[in-house]
Amino acid sequence: MSILKSFFHGKTVNCLGLLVFFLCCPGCFGTAGDSVKKIKESGKLTVITDNNPSCFYYYREARAGFEYDLAKAFADYLGVDLEIVTPGWSRLFESLENGNGDLIAAGLTRTPAREKLADFSEEYLAVQQHVVVHKNNRVIKKIGDLQGRKIHIRKGTSYHERLMEMKNDGLDITLVPHEEVPTEELLRQVAEKEIGVTVADSNIALLNRRYYPDLKLAFPIEEQQSLGWAVKKGNRSLLEEINRFFKEIEADGSLGSIYQKYYANAEIFDYVDLKKYHQRLDTRLPRYRKLIQKMARKYGFDWRLIAAVIYQESHFDPGARSPTGVVGLMQLTRDTAEEVGVSNRRDPRQSITGGVKYLKKLYDKYTEAQDPDRMLITLASYNIGRGHVLDARRIAEKRGLNPDSWSALEQVLPLLRFSKYYKKTRYGYCRGTEPVRYVRRILTYYDILKREVITVK
């Protein structure tokens, strides 16, 4: 609009000047839909991102990552194929400017410096920068404690930008910027005491605390900030389409589902439990790993998910017995054991074989649900019984929610604790918060195990 105001400031309009203006600045008027139209006509959306565990990676030869899933959803929204380009973190904006992609989706914080390079979408996730140290560090508790310290950060990040501001304001710190070293790697180095201090966005720091329980988020160094997708300066039509897309997936719950897939309950942290889990992955899991892999393969499951279920049930202890009388690695009831042909519930081979077989029987009953929802509903059924899950599904339908969506059942299952709801159901009272916690813990254990096979290409 500033160009328009200067152009029409005089009372007399120079027609030749106007003609030149329209020819030289076709993007300033009536172009809504042009760049989107080109994408649709080409049948391809090219997204620039970074190859790391927070954006885009390969899991079991399949593409994955929070930003990848969002980009795939946007490509589907446009009705086109998705192509991923990973030029390297330091070349994201250069790649966009050179026309190597339509947009950047790489967990970028909107900062004044970056907004000079590209136009940003509206917020799709809020984050906050935190100083991260080893949990045994008792010295660094506030910004003043950073005086004289060496801080390792990924070069070109918003953390780098913020720390430079703090340094210019008089904070005596030494910055060690790392070229093309993911923040996740620097967090690992802090956890293993290879370096003392780093900085990371809250979503990345909280998630990596699962993998490295010795990490501690000491304090924030910035106000809450927005993550956004970036498009080339002046590409209003694509920017508007992205904003419409974000509003739509927030309204229909898709954004929440993608977030839950990668960051579910990252803020919930039990140091003792996770530390013990990491230890038992080394000391106990190896005894059962081959059998778990064999049975998971037979029934079409990811063996790491089955291992996570077994840990949640018994901590890999074949002699485990609950107060309710369920026994063994997969905590089978007598009735379930008989149903799947298990004669000795304490026998690891029988327990794993029978437990995975039973999971498959439950899974096959939810044919209308799509994964990952289908699997999560199956896990809840394994925990509290299919009957209570059916009751919750009926309540979800009555409340206008999708009974095939795990996010809907997460809301509804806890209602089964109250007589107002369970007295109208077939299977009655249920400790409905229990399956929600159960599934969340399994997802955390599963996520840690998946880390073994996250690859970059």
Q: Are residues 202 and 348 in the same domain?
A: no
Cross-strand pairs, 109: 227
Q: Are residues 148 and 83 in the same domain?
A: no
Domain span holding position 55: 31-123+229-263
- Asked if the model's pLDDT at residue 350 lies above 60, the reply is yes
Q: Are residues 365 and 449 in the same domain?
A: yes
Q: Are residues 349 and 426 in the same domain?
A: yes
Query: Can you list the positions of beta strands (E) in 339-410?
Result: none
Q: Are residues 239 and 153 in the same domain?
A: no
Q: Are residues 345 and 441 in the same domain?
A: yes
Q: Is residue 55 a part of any domain in this protein? A: yes
Residue 180 falls in which region: left (phi positive, over 0), alpha (psi -120 to 50) or beta = left
pLDDT tier, 452 (very low <50, low <70, confident <90, very high otherwise): confident
Q: Are residues 292 and 417 in the same domain?
A: yes
pLDDT tier, 268 (very low <50, low <70, confident <90, very high otherwise): confident
Catalytic residue flag (residue 313): yes
Q: Is residue 20 a part of any domain in this protein? A: no
Q: Are residues 370 and 277 in the same domain?
A: yes
Averaged over 69-95, what is the pLDDT? 95
> Mean pLDDT of all residues in the chain?
89
Q: Are residues 392 and 421 in the same domain?
A: yes
Q: Are residues 345 and 419 in the same domain?
A: yes
DSSP 284-339: THHHHHHHHHHHHHHHT--HHHHHHHHHHHHTT-TT-B-TTS-BTTTTB-HHHHHH
For 392-415, the pLDDT digits (tens) are: 999 999 999 999 999 999 999 999
Averaged over 431-443, what is the pLDDT? 92
Q: Is residue 6 a part of any domain in this protein? A: no
Averaged over 184-202, what is the pLDDT? 94
Report the CATH number that the domain containing residue 207 is assigned in CATH: 3.40.190.10
pLDDT of residue 210: 87
Q: Is residue 425 a part of any domain in this protein? A: yes
Are 85 and 46 spatial neighbours (Cβ–Cβ below 8 Å)?
A: yes
Max mean pLDDT range (246-255, 315-324, 389-398): 389-398
C-alpha angle 308/311/316, rounded to 5°? 135
pLDDT tier, 62 (very low <50, low <70, confident <90, very high otherwise): confident
Q: Are residues 211 and 91 in the same domain?
A: no
Q: Is residue 1 a part of any domain in this protein? A: no
- Asked if the model's pLDDT at residue 156 lies above 60, the reply is yes
**For the chain, how many structural domains are there in total?**
3
Averaged over 316-338, what is the pLDDT? 89
DSSP 71-126: HHHHHHHHT-EEEEE---GGGHHHHHHTTS-SEEEEEEE--HHHHTTSEE---SEE
Question: Whole-model pTM?
Answer: 0.72
Q: Is residue 17 a part of any domain in this protein? A: no
Residue 36: name the closest of 233, 234, 235, 228 by CA: 235
Report the CATH number that the domain containing residue 329 is assigned in CATH: 1.10.530.10
pLDDT of residue 109: 94
Of the residues 184, 241, 313, 410, which is catalytic? 313
Q: Is the peptide bond before 372 cis (omega within 30 degrees of 0)?
A: yes
Helix axis angle, 202-211 to 433-450, nearest 10°: 80
Dist. CA 290–CA 292, nearest whole Å: 5
End residue of a domain, out of 189, 222, 255: 222
Q: Are residues 396 and 451 in the same domain?
A: yes
pLDDT of residue 27: 41
Q: Is residue 400 a part of any domain in this protein? A: yes
Return the minimum-mean-pLDDT range out of 27-36, 37-46, 254-263.
27-36
Averaged over 260-282, what is the pLDDT? 84
pLDDT of residue 60: 67
Q: Is residue 12 a part of any domain in this protein? A: no
